[in-house]
């Protein structure tokens, strides 16, 4: 890949009616190429007809190798590079890289391009488990920058520039900062403020903006990371865009991160058999956004606002709004995220989600003890709007049918700011033992404990376990919390450093 080219070459006009990946597939079909290498299903001819009936022939017909398929083995037509250049231009980046392994891989690549084994990296503690996985794989030493706890809502808002400034002053050898925004509940950080603090210190800012792929395409949405001065921004287009699952893009600008290093880290972690289906949908979504994105997002925001107003009339439900945008709170709020507190019904978000799925066949985005979340995208229409409002109306009317969960012992503000005793890598890979949970207090945890969704670890390998955290997780599990990455999903034992 020629990484010397950028999408913003002076005087260069990018034609966003073009879709190089899609055009290459059309050419492949027109030529009638017969392949004798992967994929072995041979455009679907080798697929079990019962599976074809479910998935359709078109899916397999579009599953074509990029090399010796959509392009030749020399990549002489540069089809992927053209598509990535168009994406970079669309979102005001200098480079864009497509990833077929989701943002879990993209964020690892970004972190490892900034810090290496034994080096320090500032990390917002509300990070997804994929971020902690990168710390373990790379041997990076995290310097946790803690978000701000909202005691009333029992959630956290992103760190502020002053938090990052203090952390850099205390850790002047840190290689950069990783910021998570928007959060799973739609609250956003002051990216520009944090970027300015990082750049004053001469280090890059990585933004895990997995939930923000739509942000570059409408001025009424929170500011997009590239526009706010971030150096590397990771997005999951499958989350709030219109590409298939695992579709991710990471973007680069400036000179604080070497593009060749970033690509090399992605090569280290990524697959050598990239899915053309992911590339095709990324390419097509970018064209759609450039041609119709403003209109589609305006409609989605109007729809979200109508739903918000309808839900606010339902007794027992409370929709989080811009009252959280304040100092020590959120810097901004994504209007397409509907975060609904259900405690007024006397139930948990977990039980509300399960009831809505079982009774109304409505699947929500996320839930925790206090709330549920629904996200509105360009793909929603009048029917999905009506279905959601009707389901929530039914939830309120029939909430007395839902079993009451045992009370959760919420930790005090700051109680989740645990002491880091060892590098996550050393604790994860070192000698460990499984002990009864009540005997784990005071020990050093050797596994990730990530209630899911949203998948933010409460315990990170290398942290000292406290009684308050154990009680929170124990009571949370009894109330419906899922802990899928624990060695013991029942949470009767914990894996600790031996």
Torsions phi, psi for 284 (to 5 deg): -70, -35
pLDDT of residue 384: 98
pLDDT of residue 493: 97
Strands (E), 242-321: 248-252, 318-319
In the chain, CATH 3.40.640.10 sits at 78-288
DSSP string for 402-455: SPPPPPP-PPPTTTT-PPB-S-HHHHHHS-EEEEEGGG-TTSBB-S-B--TTTT
Structural contact between residues 254 and 231, judged by C-beta atoms closer than 8 angstroms? yes
Q: Which fold has domain 424-497?
A: Molybdopterin biosynthesis moea protein, domain 2 (3.90.105)
In the chain, CATH 3.90.1150.150 sits at 292-401
pLDDT of residue 253: 98
Nearest-angstrom CA–CA distance, 207 and 122: 12
Half-sphere exposure of 81 (CA within 13 A, CB side): 14
pLDDT of residue 277: 95
Structural contact between residues 100 and 270, judged by C-beta atoms closer than 8 angstroms? yes
For residues 188-224, one letter each, b for 16 or more C-beta atoms within 10 angstroms of the residue's C-beta and e for the rest, the string is bbbbbbbbbbbeebebbbbbbbbbbbbbbbbeebbbb
pLDDT of residue 439: 97
Q: How many residues does the chain have?
A: 498
Q: Which residues contact 225 (CB under 8 A, 6 or more apart)?
A: 181, 191, 207, 209, 212, 215, 233, 251
The residue behind tokens 């890949």 is: 1
Integer angstrom CA distances of residue 322 from 187, 211, 369, 374, 376: 9, 18, 22, 17, 17
Half-sphere exposure of 348 (CA within 13 A, CB side): 21
Q: In which residue ranges of the chain is pLDDT below 50?
A: 1-11
**CATH number for the domain formed by residue range(s) 78-288:** 3.40.640.10
Largest CA distance in the chain: 67
pLDDT of residue 68: 84
Task: Give the DSSP letter of residue 459.
Answer: B
What tokens were used for 228? 């706010």
Of the CATH numbers 3.30.1180.20, 3.90.1150.150, 2.40.50.180, 1.10.1740.10, which one belongs to the domain with range 292-401?
3.90.1150.150
């Amino acid at each position: 890949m020629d990484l010397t080219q950028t999408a913003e070459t002076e005087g260069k006009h990018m034609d966003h009616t073009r879709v190089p990946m899609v055009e290459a597939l059309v050419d492949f079909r027109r030529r009638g190429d017969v392949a004798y290498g992967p994929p072995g299903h041979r455009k679907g001819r080798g697929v079990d007809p019962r599976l074809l009936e479910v998935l359709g022939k078109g899916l397999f017909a579009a599953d074509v190798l990029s090399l010796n398929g959509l392009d030749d083995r020399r990549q002489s037509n540069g089809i992927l590079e053209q598509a990535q250049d168009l994406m970079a231009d669309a979102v005001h980046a200098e480079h864009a890289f497509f990833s077929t392994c989701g943002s879990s891989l993209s964020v690892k690549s970004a972190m490892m391009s900034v810090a290496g084994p034994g080096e320090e990296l500032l990390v917002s503690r509300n990070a997804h488990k994929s971020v902690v996985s990168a710390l373990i794989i790379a041997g990076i030493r995290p310097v946790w920058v803690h978000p701000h706890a909202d005691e009333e809502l029992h959630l956290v808002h992103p760190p502020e520039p002053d938090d990052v400034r203090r952390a850099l002053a205390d850790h002047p050898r840190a290689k950069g900062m990783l910021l998570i925004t928007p959060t799973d509940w739609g609250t956003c950080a002051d990216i520009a403020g944090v970027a300015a603090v990082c750049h004053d210190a001469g280090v890059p800012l990585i933004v895990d903006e997995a939930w923000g792929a739509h942000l570059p395409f409408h001025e009424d949405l929170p500011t997009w990371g590239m526009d706010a001065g971030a150096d590397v921004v990771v997005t999951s287009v499958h989350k709030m865009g219109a590409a298939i699952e695992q579709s991710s893009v990471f973007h680069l600008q400036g000179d604080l991160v070497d593009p060749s290093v970033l690509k090399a880290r992605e090569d280290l972690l990524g697959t050598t058999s990239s899915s053309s289906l992911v590339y095709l949908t990324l390419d097509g979504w970018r064209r759609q956004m450039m041609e119709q994105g403003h209109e589609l997002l305006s409609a989605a925001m109007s729809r979200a606002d109508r739903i918000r107003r309808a839900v606010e009339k339902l007794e027992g439900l409370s929709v989080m709004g811009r009252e959280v945008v304040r100092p020590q709170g959120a810097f901004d709020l994504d209007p397409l995220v509907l975060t609904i507190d259900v405690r007024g019904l006397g139930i948990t978000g977990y039980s509300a989600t399960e009831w809505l799925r079982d009774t109304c066949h409505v699947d929500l985005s996320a839930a925790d003890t206090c709330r549920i979340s629904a996200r509105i995208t360009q793909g929603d229409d009048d029917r999905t709007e009506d279905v959601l409002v009707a389901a929530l109306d039914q939830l309120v009317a029939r909430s007395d049918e839902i079993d009451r969960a045992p009370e959760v012992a919420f930790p005090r503000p700051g109680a989740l700011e645990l002491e880091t005793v060892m590098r996550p890598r050393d604790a994860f890979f070192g000698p460990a033992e499984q002990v009864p949970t009540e005997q784990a207090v005071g020990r050093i945890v050797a596994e990730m404990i990530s209630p899911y969704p949203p998948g933010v670890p409460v315990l990170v390998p290398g942290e000292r376990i406290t009684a308050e955290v154990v009680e929170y997780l124990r009571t949370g599990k009894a109330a419906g919390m899922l802990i899928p990455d624990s060695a013991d999903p029942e949470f009767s034992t914990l894996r600790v450093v031996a």
